[in-house]
Structure formats: C-alpha cells, structure tokens
Amino acid sequence: MEIFVVIKAALQSGGEYTLVSTEKAFSDKAKAEEYIKTLPTVWVEKINGLDFYCERAIHIVELDKV
C-alpha cells in the first residue's frame, strides 16, 4: 500500500546543520496535495536562533502490511 508523506527539510544558511522532519502522512494522494497547497513549499525559518532555508515536499512510501 502506498502512502504519501509530507517531509520538511531545512538547511542552515551557513550550511553547517541540516534538519529533516516528517510532518504528516496520508493514504490519499489528493489529500496530501491539498494539504501541501495550504502551506509554503519554500521559506526561511528561524530554528533555535539560527536561520534555515526550508523546503516541503511529498514523498511516496510503500507501507508494509504485516
């Protein structure tokens, strides 16, 4: 079963740190696309006092049913 995961990646402006976080997962691609349309896909964010260039994207993941 495929799921659609929204992931945020952030690179510090100086390039020293990289952060990645999973925001949300959907079983329906259309719902994931609708969610991501409500948020910026590229932006600058201050995290722990440091400036990061951030990007959000949808990744397709194969979910294993055990």
* Residue pLDDT, tens place only, 35-58: 999 999 999 999 999 999 999 999
DSSP 8-state secondary structure symbol assigned to residue 48: T
> How many whole angstroms separate alpha carbon 7 and alpha carbon 12?
17
Q: How far is CA 44 from the centre of its chain?
A: 14
User: CA dist 60 to 3, 11, 17, 35, 48, Å?
Assistant: 6, 22, 25, 15, 30
Q: Is the pLDDT of residue 66 over 80?
A: no
SS3 37: helix
Of all residues in the chain, what percent carry a pLDDT higher than 70?
A: 100
Domains contained in the chain, number: 1
| Containing structural domain, residue 14 | 2-62
Look at residue 9 in the predicted model and tell me its pLDDT.
Answer: 97
DSSP 8-state secondary structure symbol assigned to residue 64: P
